[in-house]
Amino acid sequence: MVENRKNPFQELEKSLKEAPPEMKKKVMRDIAIVKLVMDMTFLVTANYSSILNGLFKTKQRN
C-alpha cells in the first residue's frame, strides 16, 4: 500500500527567495576576508619546517 505523500523538499524549493544584494555583498566580503586570513596563515606556517631544519641542522666540517 503506497500512500501519496508530499515531498517536503519540493515544498522547500518553492519557498526559496532571492537574497538581498546587500546581504550577498556582505557574505562575499566575509568570504574574501576569511580566504585572505587562510592564505596569510599558510604563508606563515609553511616555512616553519624549513626554519626548524635550518636551526637544528649541523654543518659538517671537512
pTM of this prediction?
A: 0.52
Return d(Cα 28, Cα 34) in angstroms, integer.
Answer: 10
**9-61 pLDDT tens trace:** 888 777 778 889 999 999 999 999 999 999 998 888 877 777 777 788 766 66
Please report, for the chain, the start and end positions of each structural domain, with discontinuous segments joined by +.
Answer: 20-56
